Amino acid sequence: MRKLTIPRSAAISVQPAVDADTLVRSVLFIAVYLAIWISFHPFPSLADPPQELEAGDRVNQIGFSLLFLALAGWSYFNAPRRLALLSRPVLLATLAWCALSVILSWEPALAARRLAFTLVVMSIAAISLLLPKNSRHFSELLAVVVLTVLALCYLGVLLAPQLSIHQATDFVEPEHAGEWRGLFAHKNQAGAAMVLFVFVGIFVARMRSFALGALIVVLAGIFLAFTMSKNAIGVFPLVLILSRIIARGRRPAVGLTLILIILFIFNLFSVGSVLFESIYRLNEAFMPDPTFTGRTEIWRAAMQYVAQRPFTGYGFSAFWGTPEIVFGLGEHASWVNAASDAHNGYLNLALTIGLPGLLLTILWVVISPITDFYRQPRTPQTEPLQMLFLRVCLFSMFSACFESSILQQVGEVWFFFVSAVFGLHYLSVTRITA
């Protein structure tokens, strides 16, 4: 594809004036990322039983719809051509298959609503990438958002621990009592967000200010430790090491093969443990909890359902929480019928959009970003941003082996993941400045 050259930004003066265009871009970007990471329901109480809203969350729907309209209006007048660059055949094929799964779903109305909302959120992620004027501006905006979220999380722990630390009185999973969750609904969400914040801190340290970036890394790292999120804490060092290996390599096939092998091993020793007795026994010998905190029960039930509809699945995001699952498991009913997802993003995709949809999604969010990373030459101007996007993608790919964080309607990890996927593709077809 022919490279599109983005005009070079004017040199930054000693005392740059904040013009109206920069102000609008900054406000829109900060509003989007605060809505994602703080959400419209921060510090939820976990003492009450969770409620299933059949019509969806109206506050989320209205809030993100307004953000989408604002960004669509801005894009129409500022960057329609650049937005088109984010499209690619594998993305279009994946979305077309998702649409087909809606038609074939056992809950087509529900699947259609959830796909529509997912497309809105994905569009917001794509357009928000075009808001920063350059990489330095991007780092400054991310620093503002991340420090705001971190401040709220720490204030919650200090001033409202009952709403920011898991309690023994939690209706679900009281065994997590004492583990920090900040403004998030679960300690695993908080842990994943903190890992992403560390990556942002490294990016800010290289792009804007070492002291500011180091502050973000320290604050996020301490909070991560107190979440005790095993998934996030375990995957985090692997991503740091693997990203350096990939960055120093020059052969996409080697990097892709390494990533796919790690993904295969993760899924073999997690989901595969319910298929192969030898794998379960191996986990039992070396792990304190070979059930992955009860996930094996969900994985076993999920794979039975995949076997019944392997090609079409049950419809986009239209399996968990449906009446057929909540009330239809019969003698197999357990906490599985109350699960919100498969706790494995790849298994969750096989359930909802079938095995062809799973393969298309892997091509889009696993293979394509890595090939895009190798396609763009690394320069001092682009390398920090490329590494940020690469680390976000790697963390999201691997953590999806234990959490369903792909093609969600709203999710902190998914939003930054799809932003990074778009970002690496955008870098591969454009030339940008620092």
Q: Which of 167, 193, 228 is the last residue of a domain?
A: 228
Whether residue 360 is found in the same domain as residue 216: no
Residues of the domain holding 334: 89-128+249-434
Residues written for the chain? 434
| Mean pLDDT per 10-residue section of the chain, whose length is 434 residues | 42 56 95 95 85 68 94 88 85 96 92 94 95 94 98 97 93 88 94 97 96 98 96 95 90 91 94 90 85 83 91 90 68 62 91 96 96 85 93 96 87 94 91 51
Q: How many CA atoms lie within 13 A of 203 on its CB side?
A: 28
Whether residue 93 is found in the same domain as residue 214: no
Whether residue 114 is found in the same domain as residue 146: no
- Residue 10 counted as domain residue: no
Per-residue confidence (pLDDT) for residue 235, from 0 to 100 = 95
Helix/strand/coil (H/E/C) assignment for every residue in the chain: CCCEECCCCCCCCCCCCCCHHHHHHHHHHHHHHHHHHCCCCCCCCCCCCCCCCCCCCHHHHHHHHHHHHHHHHHHHHHCHHHHHCCCCHHHHHHHHHHHHHHHCCCCHHHHHHHHHHHHHHHHHHHHHCCCCCCHHHHHHHHHHHHHHHHHHHHHHHHHCHHHHECCCCCCCCHHHCCCECCCCCCHHHHHHHHHHHHHHHHHHHHHCCHHHHHHHHHHHHHHHHHHCCHHHHHHHHHHHHHHHHHHHCCCHHHHHHHHHHHHHHHHHHCHHHHCCHHHHHHHHHHCCCCCCCCHHHHHHHHHHHHHHCCCCCCCCCCCCCCHHHHCCCHHHCCHHHHCCCCCCHHHHHHHHHHHHHHHHHHHHHHHHHHHHHHHCCCCCCCHHHHHHHHHHHHHHHHHCCCCCCCCCCCCHHHHHHHHHHHHHHHHHHEECCC
- Residue 8 counted as domain residue: no
- Residue 15 counted as domain residue: no
Q: Which of 199, 228, 257 is the last residue of a domain?
A: 228
Per-residue confidence (pLDDT) for residue 226, from 0 to 100 = 97
Whether residue 297 is found in the same domain as residue 432: yes
CB count in 10 Å sphere of residue 312: 19
Tokens of 415: 């939003």
Separation of CA 396 from chain center = 6
Per-residue confidence (pLDDT) for residue 4, from 0 to 100 = 44
- Residue 48 counted as domain residue: yes
Residue 433 in contact with residue 134, Cβ under 8 Å?
Answer: yes
- Residue 240 counted as domain residue: no
Per-residue confidence (pLDDT) for residue 333, from 0 to 100 = 52
- Residue 77 counted as domain residue: no
Count of domains observed in the chain = 2
Give the Cα-Cα-Cα angle 210, 151, 414 (nearest 5 degrees). Answer: 80
Nearest to 197 by CA among 182, 217, 181: 217
Whether residue 309 is found in the same domain as residue 351: yes
- Residue 365 counted as domain residue: yes
Tokens of 429: 């077809």
Amino acid at 73: G
Which residues on adjacent β-strands are paired with residue 4? 430
Q: Which of 228, 263, 289 is the last residue of a domain?
A: 228
Whether residue 119 is found in the same domain as residue 258: yes
Per-residue confidence (pLDDT) for residue 101, from 0 to 100 = 95
Question: pTM (2 decimals)?
Answer: 0.91
Q: Label residues 93-103 b or e (16+ Cβ within 10 Å = b).
A: bbbebbebbbe
Whether residue 294 is found in the same domain as residue 181: no
Whether residue 415 is found in the same domain as residue 428: yes
Amino acid at 48: D
Residue 38 in contact with residue 147, Cβ under 8 Å?
Answer: no
Q: Label residues 106-136 b or e (16+ Cβ within 10 Å = b).
A: bbeebbbbbbebbebbbbbbbbbbbbbbbbb
Whether residue 298 is found in the same domain as residue 428: yes
All residues at 6 or more sequence positions from 54 whose CB lies less than 8 Å from its CB, including other chains: none
Whether residue 165 is found in the same domain as residue 219: yes
Whether residue 276 is found in the same domain as residue 201: no
